């Protein structure tokens, strides 16, 4: 079980192969979960697409050195 507070920024760390990327891909709508349940504000939700995740307030910032090398860090995030 994982619980997150509204507006909380979270970093996810763990060993290689621990499932970090899989979890993030499920929460962000890139992949569908084959078991378990995701709840938002106490109610079960289905996240089938990245748009579904965004509509629920779930945003993902992927770990790349830079998305657009000529832009600042802040600009790459927003």
Q: pLDDT tens digit string along 20-34?
A: 999 999 999 999 999
Q: What is the pLDDT of residue 27?
A: 94
What domain range is 29 assigned to?
Answer: 20-77
In a domain, 12, yes or no: no
Q: Residue by residue, what is the 3-state secondary structure of 19-50?
A: CHHHHHHHHCCCCCCCCCCEEECCEEECCCCH
Q: What is the pLDDT of residue 70?
A: 83
Which whole-number Å values give the CA distances from 45 to 41, 62, 63, 71, 78, in the listed order? 10, 23, 26, 35, 26
- State phi, psi for 43 to the nearest 5 degrees: -120, 140
In a domain, 7, yes or no: no
In a domain, 73, yes or no: yes
In a domain, 31, yes or no: yes
Into how many domains does the chain fold?
1
In a domain, 5, yes or no: no
């Amino acid at each position: 079980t994982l619980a997150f507070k509204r507006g909380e920024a979270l970093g996810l760390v763990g060993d290689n192969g621990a499932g970090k990327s899989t979890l993030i891909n499920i929460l962000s709508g890139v992949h569908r979960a084959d078991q378990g349940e995701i709840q938002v504000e106490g109610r079960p939700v289905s996240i089938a697409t990245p748009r579904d995740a965004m509509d629920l307030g779930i945003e993902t910032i992927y770990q790349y050195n830079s998305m657009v090398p000529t832009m600042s860090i802040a600009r790459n995030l927003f």
